[in-house]
Amino acid sequence: MFDNLTARLSRTIEGLRGRGRITEENVAETLRETRVALLEADVAVPVVKAFIESVKAKALGHEVLSSLTPGQAFIGILHAELVQLMGGSGAGWAPRAQPPVVMLLAGLQGAGKTTTAAKLARWLIERDRKRVLLASTDVRRPAAMLQLERLAAQVHAEYFSAPPGATPAQIARAALEQARSGVFDVLIVDTAGRLHVDEELMAEVRDIDAVVGAAERLFVVDSMAGQDAVNAARAFGTALDLTGIILTKADGDARGGAALSVREVTGKPIVFIGVGEKTEALEPFDPERMASRILGMGDVVSLVEQVHARVDHAEAQRLAQKVVKGKGFDMSDLSSCRRWAVSGRCWISFPGRSRRKAQSPPTRAIGSCGGRSPSSTP
């Protein structure tokens, strides 16, 4: 999502590396390029202006100008300001309420609310061992309820079947009653969307929220929507007391401006990002890690977490012993390596990726060991 911004900022920062001294002229030139990079990334103009002023105030201070490594000091300031822009460092997202914790998902049509509801349910089930009930109040979109019901089965969550002819508020109330009687830990309520913000949509969402008393009101926004995402976030933030934001389709070719603008405009933290279509493609949003990615510094922590999630350590030890002994390692063992392949999504976590323009992400890596290489003879 931040590829273009990362590439532009990396070129800008390269101009400072190796400088023995940074002057006001150098800082002004770098900030000018940074401003252009942010505007090209579709970041809202007021957000860009405030960001540049904050960086400038710190960059022209004594610490940078007298530093032994002024270029690195400036990058550190830029990193710290990006972290603050996206929410600052914190303890992460953790719902705090008596069960059942009601989570209300709101947003425009096509943002991915229904899929996100299933992703969130899977994350809560696998990470926190919660019992999750999913409910859909979308009585307008064809097959919306059927879609969520099937997704619930995939992620091993329970699904609330809405009574025929019930209104969205009535469905939400009945789902809450079932969540209480069924001793569920979490109730996730998926709401209907529209192609644009209108008063009917806002009134419906407010009615549902009033009925269930949601502890978490999460705004689901398409990261590819650009400035429309900011406008929608502002409208929903006025109608609902939002507690967080979920960015979807972050694996696409969006310019990333929404992620940098939405939090600043609404004042609410980004809690998750969707990085794919599958139900496991949901990641907690960490401003520090994301700032490192944007500046081309990589995200080694996320890379390690992804590898740990993929690797069966007992199986890896068994295969390692076979390799050391030099016998017993067969094709079935070789093909099992495919589960530990470095995917294209992991590639974004490597430091200095933006400087490797000539290289493309490894599409097969270790996983290619189970198949035939392009140069193999038939």
pLDDT digits (tens, 9 = 90+) for 37-95: 888 777 878 888 888 888 888 777 655 555 455 666 777 788 888 888 887 776 567 77
- What pLDDT does residue 371 have? 42
Q: Is residue 135 part of a domain?
A: yes
Q: Is residue 123 part of a domain?
A: yes
Q: Is residue 176 part of a domain?
A: yes
Strand ordering across the sheet containing 101-106? 158-159, 132-136, 186-190, 101-106, 216-222, 244-248, 270-274, 282-284
If asked whether residues 70 and 105 sit together in one domain, one would say no
**Per-residue confidence band for 342, with pLDDT thresholds at 50, 70 and 90:** very low
Given a cut of 90, whether residue 168 has pLDDT beyond it is yes
If asked whether residues 56 and 147 sit together in one domain, one would say no
- What pLDDT does residue 155 have? 95
pLDDT single digits (tens) 95-112: 777 889 999 999 888 888
Q: Which of 32, 58, 85 is the C-terminal boundary of a domain? A: 85
**Domain of residue 222, CATH code:** 3.40.50.300
Q: Which of 289, 311, 332 is the C-terminal boundary of a domain? A: 289
If asked whether residues 144 and 261 sit together in one domain, one would say yes
Count CB atoms within 10 A of the CB of residue 31: 20
If asked whether residues 113 and 230 sit together in one domain, one would say yes
If asked whether residues 123 and 258 sit together in one domain, one would say yes
User: Which structural domain range is residue 222 located in?
Assistant: 101-289
Which whole number is the average pLDDT over 160-168? Answer: 90
- What pLDDT does residue 174 have? 94
Q: Is residue 160 part of a domain?
A: yes
Given a cut of 90, whether residue 147 has pLDDT beyond it is yes
- What pLDDT does residue 82 have? 83
Which whole number is the average pLDDT over 225-253? Answer: 81
Q: Is residue 376 part of a domain?
A: no
Q: Which of 289, 314, 340 is the C-terminal boundary of a domain? A: 289
If asked whether residues 59 and 109 sit together in one domain, one would say no
Given a cut of 50, whether residue 312 has pLDDT beyond it is yes
**Do the bridges between strand 132-136 and strand 282-284 make them parallel or antiparallel, or are there none, so unpaired?**
unpaired
**Amino acid letter at 207?**
D
**Per-residue confidence band for 171, with pLDDT thresholds at 50, 70 and 90:** very high
Q: What percent of the chain has pLDDT over 90?
A: 24
**Per-residue confidence band for 253, with pLDDT thresholds at 50, 70 and 90:** low
Q: Is residue 377 part of a domain?
A: no
Which whole number is the average pLDDT over 279-288? Answer: 86
- What pLDDT does residue 8 have? 67
If asked whether residues 68 and 157 sit together in one domain, one would say no
Given a cut of 80, whether residue 162 has pLDDT beyond it is yes
- What pLDDT does residue 186 have? 95
Q: Is residue 90 part of a domain?
A: no
- What pLDDT does residue 3 have? 64
Q: Poorest-confidence range of 47-56, 89-98, 232-241, 297-306?
A: 297-306
If asked whether residues 314 and 283 sit together in one domain, one would say no
- Residue position matching structure tokens 């996730």: 188
Q: Is residue 365 part of a domain?
A: yes
If asked whether residues 111 and 55 sit together in one domain, one would say no
pLDDT single digits (tens) 266-278: 888 888 988 888 8
- What pLDDT does residue 325 have? 72
291 vs 168, residue with greater confidence: 168
If asked whether residues 59 and 198 sit together in one domain, one would say no
If asked whether residues 134 and 213 sit together in one domain, one would say yes
If asked whether residues 65 and 153 sit together in one domain, one would say no
**Per-residue confidence band for 165, with pLDDT thresholds at 50, 70 and 90:** confident
Q: 3-state SS of the chain? A: CCHHHHHHHHHHHHCCCCCCCCCHHHHHHHHHHHHHHHHHCCCCHHHHHHHHHHHHHHHCCHHHHCCCCHHHHHHHHHHHHHHHHCCCCCCCCCCCCCCCEEEEEECCCCCCHHHHHHHHHHHHHHHHCCCEEEEECCCCCCCHHHHHHHHHHHCCCEECCCCCCCCHHHHHHHHHHHHHHCCCCEEEEECCCCCCCCHHHHHHHHHHHHHHCCCEEEEEEECCCCHHHHHHHHHHHHHCCCCEEEEECCCCCCCCHHHHHHHHHHCCCEEEEECCCCCCCEEECCHHHHHHHHCCCCCHHHHHHHHHHHCCHHHHHHHHHHHHHCCCCCHHHHHHHHHHCCCCCHHHHCCCHHHCCCCCCCCCHHHHHHCCCCCCCC
**Domain of residue 38, CATH code:** 1.20.120.140
Name the average pLDDT for the chain.
76
Count of domains in the chain? 3
- What pLDDT does residue 92 have? 66
pLDDT single digits (tens) 173-222: 999 999 999 999 999 999 998 777 778 888 899 999 999 999 999 999 88
Q: Poorest-confidence range of 139-148, 181-190, 325-334, 344-353?
A: 344-353
